[in-house]
Amino acid sequence: MKSLNYTARILILAYFFAFLWFPAASQVVIPDTILLTLKKEHPRLLVNSLNDFQDIKDRAIVDDFLKQSVNNILANADSMITQPVVTYEFHDGLRMDTRKIYSRCYTLSMAYRLTNNKKYADRLWADLDAASKFPDWNQDHFLDCATLTHAFAIAYDWLFDVWTPNQRDYLKQQIMAKGLMQGIMFYDKLLKPNQFNWADIDHNWSLVCNGGLAIGALAIADEEPVLAERILKEALSRYPKAVDKFGPDGAYCEGPGYWGYAMKSAVPALSVLETALGTDFGMTKIAGFSKASLFFVSMGGANASSFNYADAIAGKTRAIELFWLADKFNQPEITEMQKQYALEQQKKGSYQQSPLELLWYKPQKVILSKLIPDNYYRVAEIASLRSKWMDNDAWFVAFKAGENGVNHGHLDIGNYVLDNQGERWIVDLGYENYNVPGYFGDVVKNGQRWTYYRTRAEGHNLLVINPDSKDDQEVDAKTKIVNFKSTPEKAFGIMDITEAYRGKATSVKRGIALINRNSALVQDEIVSDKKMDLYWFVHTPAKITLSANKRTAILEIKGKKLLAEIVSPKNGKFEMMDAKPLSTSPQPTQNNKNEGFKKLAIHIVGESNVTIAVEYKGVDKTDRQKVIPLAKW
């Protein structure tokens, strides 16, 4: 009965959310005159008035977390004052270092509003003046230009009454000339040869670039309404299409890493629409956006480390934007998660506090048990299973089907990561260096991007069938999680990933299960019309010790141990390999050396119908799983 009630609750919730009506991106209507409802007074970006800054000070008197956060912001601001002013720097020859000026605009502006101490405004002016004298804001890599436009807009607006008329005019001219007018060049397609036009794409570049320009336009809209109206029409007409990428369930196809990057611009942009215009024109009601926060945290396992599929590192599934999303969509559990993470980091003394936390943190009554432990996200075709929320020692496994050809995608259909005892045992190696030849410019079938180990299937926790120098999964493959179930006894997802191995097998299915919330099973069923040369790979940072018969492997990290056991096939054996390409694979010299990682492998030759099942469990767990066909799970 317990299982029935649990399953029923999940199904009822899923049914309820599936049939709630939400507008599609195409149903968001931007009015002909956007500035009709513009609030004329400053500040109007992210805050409603100066009273919002006073409210922070008032709440900090009774809220210990907020009090410590205020102290951290002021300490950061004092540190910034001692640093050299910003310079025109490119950290890799392509991307400008915009982080300093962005951080200083927010932090020093907030510090002034909390203290009225002119030293913060004076120092910020020195940085703004230095950045104003840059020859350009790197419009060729427009993410930088948009970020600086965003940063200048905040400094202009939050300290509007502090700047002299000449200073305000000076800042406005920079926002217009180096930011907004550069954006119009892209909207009008007045580009240099081979210049990348971000204007009409629908991934993170749209959210960052269009969002930054919209924020810049709203900062000066009362003084420059013609230019602001033009920018807003261009930017906001494109924004819904990018927000729609979080639909229908909140997942982001570019991965949690780019979720964080995209939201760093999307949330301020949407918030600014509300505070400056009184409406976001229904964009936050686009299907899936209200669930984006749950997707992000559900992709985190031990230590909140993310399932870093696509071009990403295993970053934290915590972000200040969660405070805004949780408040907007009444998700107190998300607020509490972000708060607890921030408190932990504050205690360690390593937390880079953001001024936006002071605005967006709104504590609410929390019942963490409301969070569903297992989550499946349609369209993106990603899922995660866990034994318990907010427990570093819990079991966590996340996996994906979906598409290979998405922006920042890898040949990684079927890939997964696995956490337990506070460690990540099965890892995704992450992205290759962005500056290696052909990494972004050659993403077609047999393109140069797919010659790098970290983008190939063999560089993930996947099957490789009949390896050669070509793509080891199909670039245009589109696959689904065809069965997903969550009960206390067993939670699982089954992926039909046949399309990823088109021409190499007639059927490939992978099932991943969390059994009794204390072991994980990965089971592959591969059928071909000819005999195969088949590899099964996982990557791990652990020390690997194989048993005498090579049917089990003990993984060890920091004295902690996990057992991997081959359940099927009967003749299967583990072997250890370096995390590097097979001899038949491309061998670009730019490949990451992957130091500190090994590959646990199973190699099967000459079979046309194979089931590979591997169970991960505690070393003291002696019972062994039986092989049950995926069709009967």
3-state SS string for 362-402 = CCCCCCHHHCCCCEEECCCCEEEEECCCCCCCCCEEEEECE
| Percent of all residues in the chain with a pLDDT value above 70, rounded to a whole number | 95
Amino acid at 535: Y
Long-range CB contacts (< 8 A, 24+ apart) of 505-510?
Answer: 505/465, 505/532, 508/414, 508/463, 508/465, 509/482, 509/630, 510/399, 510/414, 510/463
* pLDDT value of position 370: 73
One-letter amino acid at 247 equals G
In this prediction, residue 474 carries a pLDDT of 98
Alpha carbon distance 341, 316 (integer Å): 10
What pTM did the predictor assign?
A: 0.91
Res 15 pLDDT > 60: no
pLDDT of residue 18: 38
Each residue's pLDDT tens digit, 80-94:
999 999 999 998 878
The letter for the amino acid at 121 is: A
Q: Please tell me the least confidently modeled range out of 24-33, 47-56, 549-558.
A: 24-33
- Residue 400, both tokens: 């994906």
The pLDDT score that the predictor gives to residue 23 is 54
CA distance 277 to 260: 25
Give the pLDDT score at 622: 84
pLDDT exceeding 90 applies to what percent of the chain? 85
pLDDT bucket at 368, cuts 50 / 70 / 90: low
pLDDT at 19: 35
Give the pLDDT confidence score for residue 2 in this predicted structure: 37
End-to-end CA, the chain: 19
CB 535 within 8 A of CB 457: no
Q: State both tokens at 160.
A: 């509007």
Task: Spell out the residues 6+ positions from residue 370 whose beta carbon is closer than 8 angstroms to its own.
Answer: 333
The stretch 532-557 carries a mean pLDDT of: 98
pLDDT digits (tens, 9 = 90+) for 292-319: 999 999 999 999 999 999 998 889 999 9
Q: What is the pLDDT of residues 205-245, one digit of tens each?
A: 999 999 999 999 999 999 999 999 999 999 999 999 999 99
Tokens 């505070």, located at residue: 275
State the sign of the Cα–Cα–Cα–Cα dihedral 303, 306, 307, 311: negative
Q: Which residues pair with 560 in a beta bridge?
A: 557
pLDDT band at 371 (very low <50, low <70, confident <90, very high): confident
3-state secondary structure of 580: coil
CB atoms within 10 A of CB 141: 16
- Of residues 184 and 256, the one with the higher pLDDT is 184
| Residue 178 near residue 148, CB atoms below 8 Å | yes
Q: What does the block give as tokens for 3? A: 């299982």
The pLDDT-based confidence of 163 (bands split at 50, 70, 90) is very high
Contact call for residues 629 and 568 (beta carbons, < 8 A): no
**How far is 460 from 457, CA to CA, in rounded Å?**
5
Q: Nearest CA to 356 among 162, 120, 150?
A: 150
For residues 39 and 367, the model is more confident at: 39
Mean pLDDT of the chain: 93
Structure tokens, 49: 């008035």
- Confidence class of residue 1 from pLDDT cuts 50, 70 and 90? very low
**Mean pLDDT of all residues in 468-484:** 97
Residue 22: pLDDT above 90?
no
- For 234, the 3-state DSSP assignment is helix
State yes or no: pLDDT of 424 exceeds 80. Answer: yes
pLDDT at 346 over 90: no
Compute the distance between CA of residue 616 and CA of residue 514 in angstroms, rounded to an integer.
Answer: 10
Contacts of 521 (CB under 8 A, 6+ apart): 511, 512, 513, 515, 567, 613, 614, 615, 616, 625
Please name the helix (run of DSSP H) or strand (run of DSSP E) that holds residue 576, with its range, or none.
Answer: strand 574-578
Q: What is the pLDDT of residue 26?
A: 65
Under 8 Å between Cβ of 461 and 541: no
Task: Tell the burial category of 471 from Cβ atoms under 10 Å away from its Cβ (0-12, 13-18, 19+).
Answer: buried
Q: Ramachandran region of residue 536, left (φ > 0), alpha (ψ -120 to 50) or beta?
A: beta
Instruction: Give the pLDDT confidence score for residue 194 in this predicted structure.
Output: 76
Q: Are 526 and 510 in contact (CB under 8 A)?
A: no
- List the single range of 42-56, 172-186, 303-317 with lowest mean pLDDT: 303-317
| Residues 6 or more apart in contact with residue 20 via CB below 8 angstroms | none
Structure confidence by residue, pLDDT tens digits, 516-525: 999 999 999 9
In this model, does residue 13 exceed pLDDT 80? no
- Residue-wise pLDDT for 374-404, tens only, equals 999 999 999 999 999 989 999 999 999 999 9
DSSP for 528-549? EEEEEEEEEEEEESSEEEE-TT
Could you tell me the pLDDT band of residue 16, with boundaries at 50, 70 and 90?
Answer: very low
Show the DSSP H helices in 299-372 as ranges. Answer: 321-328, 332-348, 355-360
